[in-house]
Structure 1
Amino acid sequence: MKVVVDLAVCQDHGQCAIAAPDVFRINDDGKLEYDDAPPEELREDVEDAADVCPVQAILIEG
C-alpha cells in the first residue's frame, strides 16, 4: 500500500492522526508527517483516515 497526501490541499487538521496514529502525526511545528508505505495490516486505519480528512487530501494506492 502506498499513501499519498496532497500537501498543497492538506490543512493540517490532524483528523488523520487521530484515525491512524501509527501512520500520520502532527509534528512540533503543527505540520503533517506520515509514513508513505505503511504495512498492509494498517490499511483499515488508513482508509478511515482518508474518509475523515475534511479536505480529502489522502489517496491510497495499491
Structure 2
Amino acid sequence: MIECYHKKGVPDIIIKPSTALQNDYSEEVLKLRAKLAAAEQIRASGQGALSLEESRRRLEDIYNP
C-alpha cells in the first residue's frame, strides 16, 4: 500500500495494490452469490412467493410512507 501525506500529516491519497482490490471485490461477489442462491432456493420451493399486488403494496409502503 502506498500512502502520500500532506505537510500536516493528514493522508492525501492511499493506493492499494490491485490484488487487494481484487480480494475486496471477490468477497463481495461471493456474498452476493450466496444471497442469490438462497433466494433461488426459496423461489424454487415456492416459499415466500408474492403476488404482483402484494409486491406492489410492499414497495408502496417502503417508498410512499
Structure whose residues are more often strand by fraction = 1
TM-score above 0.5, yes or no: no
Structure whose residues are more often helix by fraction = 2
TM-score, scaled to structure 2: 0.22
Looking at CA atoms only, which structure, 1 or 2, has the larger radius of gyration? 2
**Greater relative contact order (Cα 8 A, min sep 6): structure 1 or 2?**
1
